[in-house]
Structure 1
Amino acid sequence: MAFVTGSTPHNGFTLIEVLVALLVLLVGLLGVVGMQYLSLQQVNNSNLRSQVNLHALEMVEMIRANDNNALVAADVDAWEAALDRDIPGAEGAVAFNANTVNVTITWDERQYGSDAAEQTYTMTARLEQ
């Protein structure tokens, strides 16, 4: 059995291995970027939901501070302006029912795979103890 030295029949084989490794790495990095994008989108949605909750609670507390009566138009307009400033395109509604108040806020939320999905949050609060 004789070995031939100096002859390498696999010239260029390592270059193909490097290109395949780079392709696998690229696919992995694209997956990481996609997950990061989804994560940032969901953090934004979570922030919107927190803002909606705070605005609904603010309206309930304003009504309680007004002796459980409906607010004047200027107060409602100021609340709606603040709501629209923090959550663009959001709409709020307040409905009294006996000794409870329902604050409903509707807004568009960006979802994965969809440009906008309408969400609705309703807070029901008892006015009298």
Structure 2
Amino acid sequence: MNTFSPIRRQGGISLLEVLISVVVLSIGLLGIAGLQTISLKSTNMAHERAMAVILTETLFEVMRVNEAAARAGAFAMDCHTPAPGTEQWFEDVKAATSPQTCATVAWNDGVYTVTIDWSNERMNTDSIIVMETRP
């Protein structure tokens, strides 16, 4: 009579269970790594947007301090030439967002429109902040 012991019949099953567990665990870890990467990218983009808004508000405060010059339209500028007295602000905008940032200030009938436009290289997106104020 041939009898097999239960241990002998199930040889290799535990190894297969371990291999399946390792595959499931590695897929989960790859998912967590992907979520972490997206989270870091989104956090960076939110930081850039917040800094652009803060810098725009900073320029508005400079305009309020120099009200006579602001009412004369002295703060109008394009992407490449900052208005006199705003050179540091212009550099801060580029440092906070990206070196290719375009910051413009338009003066139109007593209203300043500040536009900060930049590309987020990590997310492959373009961002723009537009704010208006009356001096």
Q: TM-score, normalised by structure 1?
A: 0.84
Q: Distance in 2 between matches of 1:37 and 1:121?
A: 25
Structure-2 separation of matches of 1:47 and 1:5: 65
Partner of residue 83 from structure 1, selected from 89, 93, 96: 93
Give the alignment partner of residue 108 of structure 1, picking from 110, 116, 119: 119
Is structure 2 residue 19 aligned with structure 1 residue 19?
yes
Say whether the 8 Å CA contact 1:60–1:125 is kept in structure 2. yes
- The Cα shift of 1:49 comes to 0.3
Which sections of structure 1, spanning at least 5 residues, go unmatched?
none
Q: Which amino acid aligns with 2:18?
A: V
The residue aligned with 2:127 is 119
CA distances 1:85-116 after superposition (whole Å, capped 9, x unpaired): 222222210011222110000111232xxxx2
- Structure with the higher strand share, 1 or 2: 1
Displacement of 1:5: 3.8
**Match of 1:106, SS?**
strand
Aligned residues: CA RMSD: 2.0
Return 41-50 or 8-17, whichever deviates more.
8-17
Structure 1 segments of 4 or more deviating over 4 A? none
